Amino acid sequence: MAIDGMDGWNAIRSEPFDLVITDVDMPRMDGIELVTLMKKDSRLGNTPIMIVSYKDREDDRRRGLDAGADYYLTKGIFHDETLLHAVVDLIGQATE
């Protein structure tokens, strides 16, 4: 969990994550910039990234996907199942 984009950037560089879920609108570094930096980093470039945002215009979605996000979900139209299906698609089922 990160309090803003810069905190998220510092966190993902300090330890490995299976998946990063980010918003677009965040203080100090927005989600598009975070995704762009991750994709340019040789250690982080293959980490799956999902954007979950209230911004639901096609232009917003395209910007997120063009930056390198694997999924772009809008907060207003998805249910928990949609999010869970996207997570499973990106990193697989949990093992017990």
pLDDT tens-digit profile of 9-66?
999 999 999 999 999 999 999 999 999 999 999 999 999 999 999 888 899 999 999 9
Domain ranges of the chain: 19-91
Pairing between β-strand 71-74 and β-strand 49-53 as defined by DSSP bridges: parallel
19-91: CATH class: alpha beta
- Best CA proximity match to 38, nearest among 59, 60, 61, 17: 17
Least confidently predicted of 17-21, 69-73, 77-81, 86-90: 77-81
